[in-house]
Amino acid sequence: MGYHRPRVSTSLVGNFNYPTPYRIGAGRIRELAAACTEQGMRRPLIVTDPGLVALPWFTALAGQLAAAPELEPATFSAVHSNPTGADVEAGVAAYREHGADGLVLVGGGSALDVGKCIALMVGNPGSVFDYEDVGDNWTKVDPSKMPPKIAVPTTAGTGSEVGRASVITDPEHNKKIIFHPKMLPELVLADPELTVGLPAGLTAATGMDALAHCFEAFCAPGYHPMADGIAFEGMWLIRQNLVDAYQDGTNIEARTEMLMASSMGATAFQKGLGLVHALSHPLGGALGVHHGTANAIFLPYVMVFNREAIAHKMDVLARILDIPVASNGFDAVLSWMISLRKTLGLPHTLADVEGFDAAMAKRLAPLAVADPSMGGNPIPANEEQCERVFLKALAGDLS
């Protein structure tokens, strides 16, 4: 028998404080100017990307802040889709030039990740890579010098709006995780109306990113029932709403639920991630593949790799997601993952990724082993095993 969450409200509007103050609902963006004042900002720097800055709704958003008599905003939009350390440096320079006292982060994971790193670096020395999530690097930060941040997500995937870390590409094209607890935005304004114009392909890819977050968090070993519960609900919301949002981008209810699922995925993966992300990070760094697309490709192959450790969990997940089971939960969930990927028009193999070949599989395998996400995988993977999963994903081999 499946799990059916009762609908308690058709308005889908809420305020809560987990893991940070969070306001969700259509039209909530109209609260942005007041929210800046609440956070003590007078000269906010809006951090966004080049694709959004030209859109009519962004012009209206920036105009709303400029019209507020107590605010003097400026905009920084030099952010790449796979953001780099140079993006962060340019953003810090823009922050200082404006004399900013806070940040409004508007966009998908790229803009949000860069904005959080700008907040980290405006008052702390060195390079952003000095604060990579390795050892006790985070203790080098003086958190008192980090300005307030308001996150306005425009995609439903990374969940960066509720994250304490950012993914930034270094000069060698390796993705690095930058971490500090105070990188968590002080407020999230999640307005589904801002996601309506997101193309179907990006809706699909970002949605699969959210699914990968929830799924890997649930599969990660260790005791964290709260993360497991959040991951369950996030996957339920994705199962019920991702295809609807993909097929009808104007469906505000589906868009709202996907925004929520995205934030839930990033909340849940405080428990851990795994091999999907460990493979996706170096692939994205090397070839610029969209992170959600990479996750969508790897999910089934990593499921097969982890089968021995997660089969019992798939029996539970199949029941919760109301997935029909013919023989066992693992095969049922795997079949659903593959079917969903096909419905969303996402690639099934790495053969669809231009530039990827067997030689690259060997080159990227050590980077996957070294990726911090690997620590959450149910079965530790060495370089040879990572290379093998890359090659299976290249050949479409689910054996």
Residues 6+ apart with CB under 8 A from 8: none
Q: Residues in the chain with pLDDT < 50?
A: 1, 8-9
Among 166, 195, 224, which residue terminates a domain? 195
Position 1 scores a pLDDT of 44
| CA–CA gap between residue 384 and residue 362 (Å, rounded) | 8
Q: Note whether 316 and 232 are same-domain residues.
A: yes
Whether 6 is in a domain gets the answer no
Q: Check: CB of residue 178 under 8 Å from CB of residue 12.
A: no
Q: Note whether 160 and 249 are same-domain residues.
A: no
Q: Note whether 244 and 290 are same-domain residues.
A: yes
* Domain containing residue 229: CATH number: 1.20.1090.10
Among 145, 160, 195, which residue terminates a domain? 195
Q: Note whether 224 and 97 are same-domain residues.
A: no
- 3-state DSSP call for residue 165? strand
Q: Note whether 184 and 230 are same-domain residues.
A: no
Within 10 angstroms of residue 313's Cβ, the number of other Cβ atoms is 18
pTM: 0.94
| CA–CA gap between residue 79 and residue 66 (Å, rounded) | 22
Q: Note whether 226 and 104 are same-domain residues.
A: no
Q: Note whether 21 and 156 are same-domain residues.
A: yes
Q: Note whether 150 and 183 are same-domain residues.
A: yes
Q: Note whether 254 and 317 are same-domain residues.
A: yes
Position 259 scores a pLDDT of 97
Q: Note whether 319 and 384 are same-domain residues.
A: yes
Whether 344 is in a domain gets the answer yes
Position 14 scores a pLDDT of 77
Tens digit of each residue's pLDDT (9 = 90 or more) over 161-180 = 999 999 999 998 888 999 99
Nearest to 140 by CA among 155, 129, 153, 151: 129
Q: Note whether 258 and 245 are same-domain residues.
A: yes
Name the token pair of 143.
Answer: 């958190």
Q: Note whether 115 and 232 are same-domain residues.
A: no
Whether 240 is in a domain gets the answer yes
Name the token pair of 335.
Answer: 């079949």
Number of folded domains that form the chain:
2
Q: Which domain holds residue 209?
A: 200-395
* Domain containing residue 88: CATH number: 3.40.50.1970
- 3-state DSSP call for residue 170? coil
Q: What are the two backbone dihedrals, phi and then psi, of residue 32, each rounded to the nearest 5 degrees?
A: -65, -45
Whether 1 is in a domain gets the answer no
Q: Check: CB of residue 166 under 8 Å from CB of residue 114.
A: yes
Whether 322 is in a domain gets the answer yes
Whether 5 is in a domain gets the answer no
Nearest to 185 by CA among 23, 376, 14, 373: 23
Q: What is the 3-state secondary structure (H, E, C) of 320-332?
A: HCCCCCCCCHHHH
| CA–CA gap between residue 356 and residue 374 (Å, rounded) | 21
Among 142, 165, 195, which residue terminates a domain? 195
- 3-state DSSP call for residue 106? strand
End-to-end CA gap in the chain: 29
